Protein backbone atom coordinates (compact mmCIF):
# COMPACT_ATOMS: atom_id res chain seq x y z
CA UNK A 1 0.00 0.00 0.00
CA UNK A 2 1.22 3.47 -0.83
CA UNK A 3 2.05 5.91 1.95
CA UNK A 4 -0.78 8.35 2.69
CA UNK A 5 1.50 11.41 2.50
CA UNK A 6 2.68 10.30 -0.95
CA UNK A 7 -0.92 9.81 -2.11
CA UNK A 8 -1.87 13.28 -0.88
CA UNK A 9 1.11 14.85 -2.65
CA UNK A 10 0.34 12.98 -5.89
CA UNK A 11 -3.33 13.97 -5.66
CA UNK A 12 -2.39 17.63 -5.24
CA UNK A 13 0.10 17.46 -8.12
CA UNK A 14 -2.53 15.89 -10.36
CA UNK A 15 -4.98 18.70 -9.57
CA UNK A 16 -2.39 21.36 -10.35
CA UNK A 17 -1.41 19.59 -13.58
CA UNK A 18 -5.02 19.33 -14.74
CA UNK A 19 -5.62 23.02 -14.10
CA UNK A 20 -2.30 24.24 -15.49
CA UNK A 21 -1.97 21.87 -18.42
CA UNK A 22 -5.17 22.59 -20.26
CA UNK A 23 -7.06 24.90 -17.95
CA UNK A 24 -9.48 22.12 -17.07
CA UNK A 25 -11.76 23.47 -14.39
CA UNK A 26 -11.45 21.64 -11.10
CA UNK A 27 -15.18 22.26 -10.55
CA UNK A 28 -15.96 20.01 -13.52
CA UNK A 29 -13.67 17.18 -12.50
CA UNK A 30 -13.21 15.30 -9.27
CA UNK A 31 -10.03 13.31 -8.83
CA UNK A 32 -8.47 11.09 -6.23
CA UNK A 33 -5.24 9.08 -6.25
CA UNK A 34 -5.30 5.78 -4.36
CA UNK A 35 -2.43 3.29 -4.48
CA UNK A 36 -0.95 4.99 -7.58
CA UNK A 37 -4.29 4.81 -9.43
CA UNK A 38 -5.87 8.13 -10.45
CA UNK A 39 -9.66 8.07 -10.44
CA UNK A 40 -11.11 11.00 -12.40
CA UNK A 41 -14.80 11.72 -12.88
CA UNK A 42 -16.90 14.60 -14.05
CA UNK A 43 -17.87 16.44 -17.22
CA UNK A 44 -15.95 18.09 -20.05
CA UNK A 45 -17.15 20.45 -22.77
CA UNK A 46 -15.33 18.79 -25.69
CA UNK A 47 -14.73 15.12 -26.39
CA UNK A 48 -11.02 15.75 -26.95
CA UNK A 49 -10.67 16.92 -23.34
CA UNK A 50 -11.20 13.37 -22.09
CA UNK A 51 -7.99 12.26 -23.77
CA UNK A 52 -6.23 15.37 -22.49
CA UNK A 53 -7.30 14.54 -18.93
CA UNK A 54 -6.07 10.97 -19.32
CA UNK A 55 -2.75 12.13 -20.80
CA UNK A 56 -2.13 14.70 -18.05
CA UNK A 57 -2.90 12.09 -15.37
CA UNK A 58 -0.63 9.47 -16.97
CA UNK A 59 2.25 11.97 -17.02
CA UNK A 60 1.83 12.91 -13.35
CA UNK A 61 4.63 11.46 -11.20
CA UNK A 62 3.27 8.82 -8.83
CA UNK A 63 0.38 7.80 -11.10
CA UNK A 64 0.67 4.35 -12.67
CA UNK A 65 -2.94 3.77 -13.73
CA UNK A 66 -5.82 6.06 -14.74
CA UNK A 67 -9.54 5.27 -14.42
CA UNK A 68 -11.93 7.83 -15.89
CA UNK A 69 -15.68 8.31 -15.67
CA UNK A 70 -16.09 11.44 -17.76
CA UNK A 71 -19.25 12.56 -19.53
CA UNK A 72 -19.59 15.11 -22.30
CA UNK A 73 -21.59 18.18 -21.21
CA UNK A 74 -24.72 18.73 -23.27
Domain containing residue 32: CATH number: 3.30.1340.30
More confident residue, 60 or 48: 60
Q: Report whether pLDDT(1) > 60.
A: no
| Whole-number Å distance between alpha carbons of 66 and 54 | 7
3-state SS assignment for residue 63 = coil
- Average pLDDT (47-72) is 93
> Domain range spanning residue 21?
4-72
Which residues are 41's β-sheet partners? 30, 69
Looking only at Cα atoms, what is the longest distance across the chain?
39
| Whole-number Å distance between alpha carbons of 48 and 11 | 23
At 2-57, the pLDDT tens digits run: 588 899 999 999 989 888 866 666 568 899 999 999 999 999 888 888 899 999 99
Q: How many domains does the chain have?
A: 1
| Whole-number Å distance between alpha carbons of 60 and 50 | 16
Amino acid sequence: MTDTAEQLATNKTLGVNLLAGEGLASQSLLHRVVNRTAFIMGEVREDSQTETVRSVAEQTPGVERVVTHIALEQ
